[in-house]
Copies of this chain bind each other. A is one copy, B any other.
């Protein structure tokens, strides 16, 4: 299993605190030592960092952790390899362009049989089932909607159904984003929390670190964090149901469906 981390915020926010917790699971408090990646969106632009080594020992990860890149939307992943070698092309998040938007994708779980389904437009660069699933999803989305429908709920609905179909092949927990929307599906393990005023203190489970968000935020900030398992031990996280599909934008849920 791998670990996922996502963020959707209504104001550019850095994810240093949560990313610090995630990194510890990459080889120190967790077994996820086979690479890590993170993508930050600034408007339509995506800034991605990838490394195929353990995140807890990665010099680049330390740089990313300490440098407050402020973003509306973030997707991150640390990997424990199941399918595919440990190398850069197999390191999440994966990225492809659709509709003139940079889509990023990260997955935990295993759905090896996905490779029996034919791809059309997008092809994988590495050999993971995860990247294959991403290519399949985007190929289908592109075929169904050659241009984005005026009502975004239409493509959310369609994408939710496709995610649910993938989940029938095994374990499929997913974060996907075009920078504006953070799209999530849970087949076994995912949770989320929305932080807003009045902000309090949060303490990381995986490292001896706490933060007083009241010092870091303004009263209007709304920041949602999604993770495989709660990153803090003094806050209440919402646990996803199996088959729950949820889309966030600007820190709020904008689409929800229970399959």
Residues on A lying within 8 angstroms of B by beta carbon are 42-52, 59-60, 63, 67, 87-91, 95-97, 99-102, 121-126
Contacts and interface: CB of A to CB of B under 8 A. Distances in A.
Contact of A122 (B44, B49, B97): B97
Contacts of A125: 44-45, 97, 100-102
A102 to B, nearest CB: 5
Contacts of A100: 123-125
Specify how many copies of this chain sit in the oligomer.
2
Contacts of A122: 97
Contacts of A50: 45, 47
A63 B59 CA distance: 10
A45 B126 contact: yes
Given A45-B50, A47-B50, A89-B102, 17 more contacts: A43-B87, A43-B88, A43-B89, A44-B89, A44-B126, A45-B87, A45-B91, A45-B126, A47-B88, A49-B49, A59-B67, A60-B67, A95-B95, A100-B123, A100-B124, A102-B125, A121-B121
Contacts of A46: 88
**Which 10 pairs show the lowest CB-CB distances between chains A and B?**
A45-B88, A100-B123, A45-B89, A42-B88, A44-B89, A44-B125, A63-B63, A102-B125, A47-B50, A100-B125
